[in-house]
Structure 1
Amino acid sequence: MPSSLLAVLRPLSRAVTYTRWLHLLITSVAGIVTGFLYEGTFRTGGWLPWLWIAVLPAPLLVLAGLIPVVRRVEGLQAQLLLTPGPHGLEARAASGIATTPSGSWSERGRTAVWLLLRLAVGVALSALTVQLPILAGAFTMAAAGHPTRLEGLPAIEEPHWWYGLLAPLPLVLLSAVAVGAGSLTAGAARRLLGTSAAERLAELEARTERMLQHNRLAQELHDSIGHALTVTVVQAGAARTAGSPEFTERALAAIEGTGRQALVDLERALRLLREDAPRPADRPTLTDAELLLESARAAGSTVRAELSGPLDTLPGPVSREGYRMVQEALTNVLRHAGPVPVSVRMAAGADALELEVRNPLPAIPLAPGAGGRGLRGVRERAALLGGEAETGPDGGEWRVSARLPLRQLR
């Protein structure tokens, strides 16, 4: 089969051609229902009733277009029937057709124009869908030797076999009109029901927020699970080499407590990924920092803590992110330096929260980038809160420090 003929026939093999056709045929229902309310609409034959069907509902459709929710209904229907392929969230966003109520008079006006255009094109296609197959049937009857006198169509008084050659033409014309009208309607839907600049900006902000939320969850899991695994490995190794039943008992208790906390954090993160799940319990804050210090002590480190200021009155975001920063700093100590002395300082002032974790540098220097994404996560958390963080050697010690501003969050 020639490629040109295949190109012509290809639209007829696509499901979207017929869903668009259905979308336009549905429009004429409003005109037919309105026609029944006016006496005499369907008493005349031919094409005049179709004209009435296209005109009578117009005022009602204009008024309907001014109702905000109509834009949402029309947008959902257009996405489902006019756009090809799957209809998931990403496909809906890529369709360019809005599914939100009208937020301005401009959007209401475009919705009204869309309804009028859909009515005009839909009624015209409906008329052709009814009349052209009848015309094809008339040609077929004439080819078989039967005269035809159908209302609204030219009478065929002298039948002849060559009318059979004309019989496919109305159906070909109908198919071509249906494909063209469907494409025209889909393009008009994108222009008249398309998302506005404000809606595109809101969608971009929502998508960015979802990406940031996923990144935050990934960082949360990295910090929490990484800390738990590091403490578990250090505790298990120390218990094996200590040879003391009492130390082994303490190590197992520390592993159990750390593992339970990691499971709580994991469950909370998984619930956040499920939109239908209830909101999980609050994340740990700096008021729970003693758990981190005890975990490091149980792993064999000597922890000297200096806590000052009203840590329990800190803003939620600062307190939660500060907890994760300290957790990652202690995890970094155990992972790269082992059970060494650690100095932890948390100072809540009037303007800022200051955090600092120090430990002796390991005998074998860290390779560049050995800190992994954990320390980078500390800097990212500080930047998100408008603060700053520094990590690196300082006078023979490894220092992790952060300053988080408080004044704009209170």
Structure 2
Amino acid sequence: MSFSLSTMFRPLTRAVTYTRWLHQLIASVAGTLAGFVHGGTFRSTGMEVWLWIAVLPVPVLLAAALIPAVRRVEGLQAQLLLTPGPHGPEERAGTGISTSPSLSWRDRGRTAGWLLLRLAVGVPVSALTVQLPVLSFAFLQAAAGHRTHFRGLPAIDAPHGWYALLVPLPLVVLLAVAVWAGSLMAAAAGRLLGPSAAERLAVLEARTERILEHNRLAQELHDSIGHALTVTVLQAGAARAAGSPEFTDRALAAVEETGRQALTDLERALRLLREDVPHPAARPVLADAERLLESARAAGSTVRAELSGPLAALPGPVSREGYRMVQEALTNVLRHAGPVPVSVRIAADADALELEVRNPMPASPAPAAVGRGLRGLRERAVLLGGKAVAGPDEDGEWRVHARLPLARLR
């Protein structure tokens, strides 16, 4: 019994019950205003007044539904008053109620249906909210031995003490109707004010874009941090083996520079993930490729570089992704082959950008293209409409080659 009573009275302890009740009362405001404009409405008696309030605003509501912004206003009001809990951006997005303006005639039709439903439910609830407490007061008066006759209610000409038993009944009915009607309107809001097919598609596309962006950031962090750690490990090992203070100083300087760049990349990625910074730090481009080459040289590799073409004029996406591809190729050289001679060619012309990194094969070569880095390198090339290959060539060297088309990006 205690469980049943607690379940029965639980809605009365929730704030959303009363905000939903308020939402229903607001629906009768349009009818009340229309009644003042339509002379003689409030000179009617009994239920006629409420019938006028329910009928008079219908043409106005149908016309209002044609205005795109009305759907936004109704959605915001429904989110605020019909849904429980906090109302921050994330919570509002999870209510299933849209706050976008009408984009199609279907949206306008659903908005019209919502406004008419609000009126059809709100006016009876408003009428009961006014009349049922008055009826309880009439029963109380009759229980006290007074004859009662309130407007819109039948007269009680034979007062008696037993009317006291009926005093709470109208209030219980009112609360039950308010809770039921509030639940009905909350469910209807999800159907009539829910996102349209176009809005759901836009949300899906935005979510997909965020996932792709996060994957891209993860790949960038893998490339940048992996390169920095590889250089740091090699520098530390070389400095310890050399036993030269001068070499150790150079190694520490290289570690410091590489670590600083990795921290910059990490901070930029975290700023993007937080989505609260409109202008994140600039990403490195191929015009900064000399920094990569110096980092590899500092790790002990002999780097022969050939840079040609207008690298500074490359389209932003190609230049940024090209930088990461060269960085990943050099990282793989240092990680798998050590400080060996490396040949780097970066060539740009009007049609394409070509990247090539070659190095002698290590004594125990790793399986081709099994790591995340080389897989990411291929993915970057494909996204830009190009192609990347990695593997041993006919000269017995490991070769990473990528070609990225430029003509369609200019």
Alignment of 1:171 with 2:171, yes or no, is yes
> CA–CA distance in 1 between the matches of 2:88 and 2:211?
18
Shift in Å, 1:5: 5.2
Cα distance between partner residues in 2 of 1:223 and 1:312: 22
- Alignment of 1:140 with 2:140, yes or no, is yes
RMSD of aligned alpha carbons:
2.5
Corresponding residue for residue 95 of structure 2: 95
Residue 388 (structure 1) aligns with: 387
Q: Does 1:196 align with 2:196?
A: yes
Task: Give, in angstroms, the shift of residue 300 of structure 1.
Answer: 0.6
Counterpart contact for 2:368–2:391, Cα < 8 Å: no
Letter in 1 for 2:72: R
Give, in whole Å, the separation in 1 of the partners of 2:293 and 2:70: 59
Deviation at 1:334?
1.8
Aligned-partner Cα distance in 2 for 1:394–1:145: 109
Could you tell me which residue of structure 2 aligns to residue 290 of structure 1? 290
Return the alpha-carbon distance in structure 2 between the equivalents of residues 200 and 340 of structure 1. Answer: 53
Quick one: distance in 2 between partners of 1:36 and 1:218? 63
Matched residue type, 1:189: A
Determine the C-alpha separation between the residues in 2 that align with 1:91 and 1:208.
Answer: 20
Q: 2: distance between equivalents of 1:195 and 1:331?
A: 47
Q: Is the 8 A contact 2:369 2:375 kept in 1?
A: no
- CA distance 1:41–1:321, change in 2 (3 Å): same
- 1:368–1:4 Cα change, 3 Å: farther
Alignment partner, residue 345 of structure 2: 345
SS at match of 1:383: helix
SS at structure 2 position matched to 1:215: helix
Specify the code of the residue in structure 2 equivalent to 1:99.
Answer: T
Structure 1 residues 331 and 319, CA gap change in structure 2 (3 angstroms): same
CA contact (8 A) 2:347 2:355 kept: yes
State the match for 1:184 in structure 2.
184
Shift of 1:75: 0.8
Residue type matched to 2:270 in 1? L
CA distance in structure 1 between the aligned counterparts of 2:306 and 2:369, rounded to whole angstroms: 29
- Alpha-carbon separation, structure 1, partners of 2:222 and 2:334: 15
Whole-Å separation in 2 of the counterparts to 1:365 and 1:175:
78
The 3-state SS of whatever aligns with 1:42 is: helix
Deviation at 1:368, TM superposition (A): 8.7
Structure 1 match to 2:72: 72
Aligned to 1:259: 259
Equivalence map 1:3-402=2 (5 Å): 7-366=7-366, 371=371, 373-394=372-393, 396-402=396-402
Deviation at 1:45, TM superposition (A): 4.3
Please say if residues 342 and 358 of structure 2, whose CA atoms lie closer than 8 Å, have aligned partners that are also in contact: yes
Q: Bigger CA drift: 321-330 or 147-156?
A: 147-156
Amino acid at match of 2:37: L
Counterpart residue type for residue 258 of structure 2: T
User: What is the deviation of 1:40?
Assistant: 3.4
- State the 1:146 CA deviation: 2.9
Query: 1: CA distance between counterparts of 2:150 and 2:368?
Result: 89
Count of aligned pairs: 409
Matching residue's letter, 2:24: L
The Cα of 1:346 is off from its aligned counterpart by 2.2
Contact 1:302/1:341 (CA < 8 Å) preserved in 2?
yes
State whether residues 54 and 123 of structure 2, in contact with CA within 8 Å, keep that contact through their aligned partners in structure 1: yes
Q: AA paired with 1:29?
A: V
- Higher mean alpha-carbon deviation, 114-123 vs 65-74, is at 114-123
Deviation at 1:80, TM superposition (A): 2.0
Give unpaired runs (5+ residues) of structure 1: none
| Alpha-carbon distance, 1:87 to partner | 3.6
Judge conservation of contact 1:70–1:101 (CA < 8 Å) in 2.
Answer: yes
Q: Secondary structure at the match of 2:43?
A: coil
The structure-2 alpha-carbon separation of the partners of 1:368 and 1:82, relative to structure 1 and needing over 3 Å to count, comes to: farther
Superposed displacement of residue 134, structure 1 = 1.6
In structure 2, runs of 5+ residues without a counterpart are: none
- When residues 67 and 314 of structure 1 are mapped into structure 2, their CA distance, relative to the original with a 3 A threshold, is same
Which has the higher mean CA deviation after the structures are superposed, 12-21 or 189-198? Answer: 12-21
2:345 is paired with a residue of what secondary structure?
A: strand
Shift of 1:130: 1.3
Q: Structure 1: which amino acid aligns with 2:373? A: G
* Cα deviation, residue 70, structure 1: 1.3
SS at match of 2:211: helix
What SS does the corresponding residue of 1:162 show, helix, strand or coil?
helix
Paired residues of 2:346 and 2:354 also in contact (CA < 8 A)? yes
Kindly provide the CA deviation profile for residues 39-92 of structure 1, in whole angstroms up to 9, marking residues without a partner as x: 433334433332232233333322222211111111111122222344444443
Identity score, percent: 77
Greater shift in the superposed pair: 136-145 or 211-220: 136-145
3-state SS of paired residue (1:189): helix
Matches of 1:387 and 1:14 in 2, distance apart? Answer: 59
For residue 113 of structure 1, report the CA deviation from its aligned partner: 2.8
Residues 344-374 of structure 1 show CA distances to partners (whole Å, capped at 9, x for unaligned) of 2223344432322222333344379873x32
The residue type equivalent to 1:302 in the other structure is: T
Query: Which stretch of structure 1 is more off in the superposition, 324-333 or 14-23?
Result: 14-23
Describe the SS at the equivalent of 1:296: helix
Q: Which moved more, 1:259-268 or 1:127-136?
A: 259-268
SS at match of 1:239: helix
